[in-house]
């Protein structure tokens, strides 16, 4: 803890003044005495010098203690009250002020609290009225955000300078899959609010599409859109459709373009399948043309009546061989078409009871066969291709109805560990296993349509199993499908859950009004910048002595909003032991780190996550030292500006005793959760940073350059690692 030099000065000053006054008084008295009188005075005082010195020290100590108490009550207490009142004035701290010092000081604290309470009530009244006035606009925004979030197509909305304003979950997962480092923290995040779309697409490509859209808008085209195909990470092909976002315009004026919408489709698999089919059809056509020519020539030769037996056999062999080859090629084409049909319909999450109800309706409609359903008491979600699975159930029920004359069937669903079993049950005549296997292998026929798929194809599509069982005692038999259950949530989202009852914040329409990150960062206002707030957990406190990073966590702040959904969290294999002292702090045991990516793999992903932002950390010198030591091995460099909440807190609250993260959070009334885990500390640091920004503005610190310069003048800026 830093000691206040002013308190020490206040304590020592009375003793110094007393000593100087006593010395001056003795000198003046001695100057008025004759030599003999001074000698007599010296004889009188010399034996009592120790007593006089002791009395002087006691008097100086008493005066120093009194001065120290006076300084604490009259200087320190008002200064701390001022800082606490500033926090309260910003609406970011607890409602109670520290009541220390004199009675007047305590009374002043209570009066400030009362005034702050009145001001807070007035603010609440104003906010309520503003909230009522803007409720309709917010509802429209929420509806649009909800619509975008639930779309199955990837959607990204950008401002004209390429800053992302809105994206949906589909786009987020798609860009994660396209990342160059998918094994690290879900991949380096390529998309996020306020980030540049040029991290994904080349700028000339977007600029060219923008130019085409603006030309079509100028021509009053009915659909001023542009489409292009481009490559993305991991060799994927994306088809992108760009449409304009029109800004409101006055009556009679042409609407201007304020941004654009990108609709994205990953067409890699589609093109591969089309290319494979084209090659197969081309091969079938070319080879069939050659085969038909050979067979025609052979048949022409067979028309000669005087053809000897050996040549006749040779020409017949040509016809047989070419016919067999054509048959194989046609079978290959059928097999390829069947494989494409197996994957045509997507696997989707579906409530088991809904699947049972749909299957029962289809069976009754197709065959007039009554079908009961038995669903589990607890809702069971399945991950299925409902189209092909319903076809399989209708097909099997139809075979039972046609060949055994059944009058009733039943569908039962229940859990089976991580999977679920779906049974088609009937009573009465029982088939043998060979017949059941034949039904499983035959192409399915539903009504008058014969499908190239079999029941086994459908089962393989689900990665499940299918078998036939019977129970002699109850005279029941059933076909059983073993199907996958749906996961409770996507694995990519498990690391950073959204707050309860909230929709993920994938949009910020205010960014339409914001300028980009271009320009001199030092001159940019702090409120306009995007930030990456991060923290590291390590094996120890000595980065130069061999300690290593074991976890990196980070969140982003854009447009003054903490984006909890856009987080980075990754454990790191340090390739060394973890001391017991460090284990007692963060609790990250070695078993959690085995097999994790190394820091050389994690840093590129974190570097991509923090691109185009200002770095923020608490005691940033410590974390940045660890990063700097690994830059060369990872082949990158962190050249962003760095802000330290430790220095900023000391800047706005110089009279506070502690600037530890917990102490600052307590002053601001922030709840502390997940301490000493990288992501938890990053979230807490971000909350603190957001509350420091208005206090910096009150002190005239508006730009990044001003904040960096002022922070370096604080006492704690001397810390080095």
Query: Which residues are identified as catalytic?
Result: 676
Residues, the chain, total?
721
Contact residues for 519 (Cβ-Cβ < 8 A; gap 6+):
none
Q: Which residues contact 55 (CB under 8 A, 6 or more apart)?
A: none
For residue 152, what is the DSSP state?
A: S
Among 354, 477, 487, which Cα is nearest to 413's?
354
Please give the C-alpha separations between residue 507 and each of 157, 500, 518, 626, in angstroms, as whole numbers. Answer: 9, 18, 21, 34
- How far does CA 339 lie from the centroid of its chain? 35
Task: Name the nearest CA neighbour of 459 among 439, 477, 475, 474.
Answer: 439
Q: Give the C-alpha separation, 121 to 512, whole Å.
A: 32
* Cβ burial, residue 286 (10 Å; 0-12/13-18/19+): exposed
Q: What is the torsion angle, in degrees rounded to the nearest 10, for the CA atoms of residue 190, residue 196, residue 202 and residue 204?
A: 170
Q: How far is CA 687 from the centre of its chain?
A: 17
Query: Residues 187, 177: contact at Cβ < 8 Å?
Result: yes
Question: β-strand 409-416 against 371-374: which pairing, if any?
Answer: parallel
Distance between CA atoms of residues 260 and 220, nearest Å: 17
CA distances to 389, 412, 433 from 428, in Å: 25, 17, 16
Cα R_g (the chain), whole angstroms: 40
Which of helix, strand or coil describes residue 200? coil
Q: How far apart are CA 377 and CA 261, in angstroms?
A: 44
């Amino acid at each position: 803890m830093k000691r206040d030099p002013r308190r020490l000065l206040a304590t020592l000053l009375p003793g110094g003044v007393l000593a100087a006054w006593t010395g001056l008084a003795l000198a003046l008295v001695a100057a008025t005495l004759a030599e003999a009188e001074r000698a007599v005075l010296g004889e009188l005082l010399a034996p009592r010098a120790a007593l006089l010195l002791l009395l002087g020290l006691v008097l100086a100590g008493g005066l120093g203690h009194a001065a120290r108490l006076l300084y604490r009550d009259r200087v320190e207490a008002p200064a701390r009250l001022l800082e606490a009142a500033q926090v309260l004035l910003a609406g970011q701290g607890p409602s109670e002020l520290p009541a220390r010092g004199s009675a007047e000081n305590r009374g002043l604290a209570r009066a400030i609290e009362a005034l702050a309470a009145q001001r807070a009530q007035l603010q609440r009244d104003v906010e309520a009225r503003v909230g009522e006035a803007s409720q309709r606009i917010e509802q429209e925004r929420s509806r649009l955000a909800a619509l975008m979030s639930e779309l199955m197509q990837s959607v990204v909305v950008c401002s004209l300078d390429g800053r992302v304003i809105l994206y949906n979950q589909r786009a987020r997962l798609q860009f994660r899959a396209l990342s160059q480092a998918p094994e690290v923290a879900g991949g380096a995040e390529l998309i996020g609010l306020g980030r540049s779309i040029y991290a994904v697409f080349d700028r000339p490509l977007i600029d060219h599409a923008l130019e085409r859209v603006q030309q079509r808008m100028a021509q009053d085209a009915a659909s001023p859109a542009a489409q292009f195909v481009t490559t993305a990470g991991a060799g994927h092909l994306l088809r992108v459709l760009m449409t304009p976002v029109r800004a409101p315009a006055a009556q009679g004026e042409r609407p201007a373009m304020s941004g654009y919408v990108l609709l994205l489709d990953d067409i890699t698999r589609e093109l591969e399948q089309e290319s494979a089919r084209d090659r197969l059809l081309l091969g079938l056509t070319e080879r069939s043309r050659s085969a038909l020519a050979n067979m025609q020539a052979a048949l022409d030769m067979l028309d000669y009546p005087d053809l000897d037996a050996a040549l006749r056999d040779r020409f017949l062999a040509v016809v047989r061989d070419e016919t067999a080859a054509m048959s194989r090629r046609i079978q290959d084409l059928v097999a390829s078409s069947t494989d494409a049909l197996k994957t045509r319909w997507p696997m989707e999450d579906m409530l088991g009871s809904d699947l049972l109800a749909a299957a029962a309706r289809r069976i009754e409609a197709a065959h007039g066969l009554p079908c009961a359903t038995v669903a589990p008491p607890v809702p069971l979600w399945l991950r299925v291709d409902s189209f092909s699975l319903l076809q399989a159930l209708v097909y099997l029920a139809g075979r039972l109805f046609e060949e055994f004359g059944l009058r009733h069937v039943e569908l039962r669903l229940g859990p089976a560990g991580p999977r679920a079993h779906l049974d088609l049950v009937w009573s009465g005549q029982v088939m043998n296993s060979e017949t059941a296997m034949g039904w499983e292998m035959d192409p399915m026929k539903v009504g008058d349509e014969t499908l190239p798929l079999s029941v086994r194809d459908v089962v393989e599509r689900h990665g499940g199993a299918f078998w036939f069982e019977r129970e002699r005692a109850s005279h029941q038999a059933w076909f059983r499908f073993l199907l996958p259950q749906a996961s409770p949530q996507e694995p990519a989202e498990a690391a950073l859950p959204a707050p309860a009852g909230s929709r993920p914040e994938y949009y910020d329409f205010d960014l339409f009004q914001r300028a980009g990150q271009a320009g001199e960062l030092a001159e940019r206002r702090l409120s306009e910048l995007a930030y990456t707030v991060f923290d590291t957990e390590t094996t120890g406190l000595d980065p130069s002595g061999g300690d290593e990073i074991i976890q990196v966590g980070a969140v982003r702040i854009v447009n003054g909003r903490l984006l909890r959904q856009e987080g980075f969290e990754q454990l790191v294999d340090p390739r060394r032991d973890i001391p017991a002292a460090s284990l007692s702090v963060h609790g990250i045991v070695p078993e959690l780190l085995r097999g994790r990516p190394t820091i050389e793999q994690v840093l590129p992903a974190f570097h991509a996550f923090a691109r185009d932002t200002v770095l923020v950390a608490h005691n940033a010198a410590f974390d940045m030292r660890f990063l700097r030591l690994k830059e060369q091995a990872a082949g990158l460099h962190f050249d962003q500006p760095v802000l330290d909440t430790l220095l900023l807190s000391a800047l706005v609250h110089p009279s506070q005793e502690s600037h530890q993260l917990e102490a600052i959070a307590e002053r601001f009334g922030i709840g502390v959760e997940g301490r000493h885990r990288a992501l938890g500390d990053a979230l807490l640091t971000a909350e603190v940073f957001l509350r420091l920004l208005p206090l910096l503005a009150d002190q005239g610190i508006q730009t990044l350059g001003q904040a960096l310069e002022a922070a370096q003048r604080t006492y704690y800026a001397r810390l080095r690692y």
